[in-house]
Structure 1
Amino acid sequence: MQEHNDKDAHPHHGGGSLRWATAKHALRCLIGCNIGEGIGAAVGFALGWDVTSTLVLAVALAFAVGYAFTMIPMLRTMPWRQAAKVTVIGDTASISAMELTENLLAFAIPGFMMASLADAMFWIGMGIILPAGFAVSYPAMYWAMKREQKEGGSMMQAHHH
């Protein structure tokens, strides 16, 4: 097998570069976090909770599902303890940036927080919030993956298999 001197290039993994691997990982994280957040918002709404309690549940589930979306594929290539460590180190800053940005925007967009799935404002808001969440999570994810790559590459290996 050929060795690669360029640390950003991983053509044998099909990703092409650390930037591409980061984009794929940030997108998977965004999907997982927003599934968790959506479940939390739906539960809070269904139970008639206030906005603060619903937000706390939604953010907690965003972290839990986001971590799960990262960890589960890693379990094919590393033990649970190592996968958990890499996940927490790699995803915490990214998820925090994403959640802060998405929630600040959700409150800033007039009518978004009260919009139903049938309202155009909900979908317009999502069209603003989701790309913004990705945009702020990407640099945090890139930094974490670059750091991991320099420290031994277990995250990089796990995300390419």
Structure 2
Amino acid sequence: MAAEGRGSHGHAQHHLDGGPPRVRRAARLGRPVTWASAAQATLHCLTGCAIGEILGMVIGTSLGLHDLATVALGVALAADTLSITVMETVDNAAMLAIPGAMEAGISSPVFWLLLAGALALAFVVTLPINRRLMSRGKGHAVVHAHAHS
């Protein structure tokens, strides 16, 4: 893992300590986090979620795994933070709850349309969570939303 300008601390360390010092300082000062910043950070998290989800679905389906095993594989590949865990929970619950979604298979446009809808729902649910975490100087989202500020 490459260092990110903080000695030997890398990306994973940011998850533990609430982000760079300037972000933690801004949170202590009560500086508000905009919905736009939260949306940008949530989109970043959603991208990671989607990559893990798609890899899990492709691998699980290709290996002929049961729906729950395929979902578990997708979660294992993507979930490393609270926001992504929420995203994974929401989008997988949606995929499992929609009749025929998992049975459609990865070669069906129906599957991809339903997955896109489930990921959009996950974004909407996770956006306020990320905004709250960011306003407290916490979470994965804060690192990426303020990395270049």
TM-score, reference length from structure 2: 0.67
Q: Which runs of 5+ in 1 are unaligned?
A: 9-16, 68-91
- In the superposition, relative to structure 1, how do residues 160 and 51 fare at CA in structure 2: closer, same or farther (>3 Å)? same
Cα offsets for 1:131-156 (capped at 9, x unmatched):
1010011111111100007xxxx737
In 2: Cα distance, 1:142 partner to 1:114 partner? 35
In 2: Cα distance, 1:57 partner to 1:117 partner? 15
Amino acid at match of 1:160: H
Aligned: 1:22 with 2:6: no
Amino acid at match of 1:28: H
Cα offsets for 1:76-95 (capped at 9, x unmatched):
xxxxxxxxxxxxxxxx3212
In 2: Cα distance, 1:52 partner to 1:117 partner? 15
- In the superposition, relative to structure 1, how do residues 135 and 57 fare at CA in structure 2: closer, same or farther (>3 Å)? same
In the alignment, what sits opposite 2:132?
Answer: 143
In the alignment, what sits opposite 2:53?
Answer: 37
Q: Which runs of 5+ in 2 are unaligned?
A: 1-25
In 2: Cα distance, 1:99 partner to 1:141 partner? 14
Task: Confirm or deny: 8 A CA contact 1:102 1:130 kept in the other structure.
Answer: yes
In 1: Cα distance, 2:86 partner to 2:92 partner? 10
Aligned: 1:7 with 2:23: no
Q: Relative CO higher for 1 or 2, CA cutoff 8 Å, sep ≥ 6? A: 2
In 1: Cα distance, 2:59 partner to 2:119 partner? 21
In 2: Cα distance, 1:52 partner to 1:141 partner? 27
Task: Confirm or deny: 8 A CA contact 1:98 1:134 kept in the other structure.
Answer: yes
In 2: Cα distance, 1:143 partner to 1:136 partner? 12
RMSD, matched Cα: 2.6
In the alignment, what sits opposite 2:74?
Answer: 58
In the alignment, what sits opposite 1:159?
Answer: 147
- Which has more helix, going by share of residues? 1
In 2: Cα distance, 1:140 partner to 1:148 partner? 12
In 2: Cα distance, 1:120 partner to 1:61 partner? 23
Amino acid at match of 1:103: N
In 1: Cα distance, 2:70 partner to 2:144 partner? 35
Provide the secondary structure at the position in 2 that maps to 1:159.
coil
Cα offsets for 1:51-107 (capped at 9, x unmatched):
2222211101011xxx5xxxxxxxxxxxxxxxxxxxxxxxx3212221111111111
In 2: Cα distance, 1:157 partner to 1:29 partner? 11
What is the aligned counterpart of 1:108 among 97, 109, 118? 97
- In the superposition, relative to structure 1, how do residues 125 and 56 fare at CA in structure 2: closer, same or farther (>3 Å)? same
- Which has more strand, going by share of residues? 2
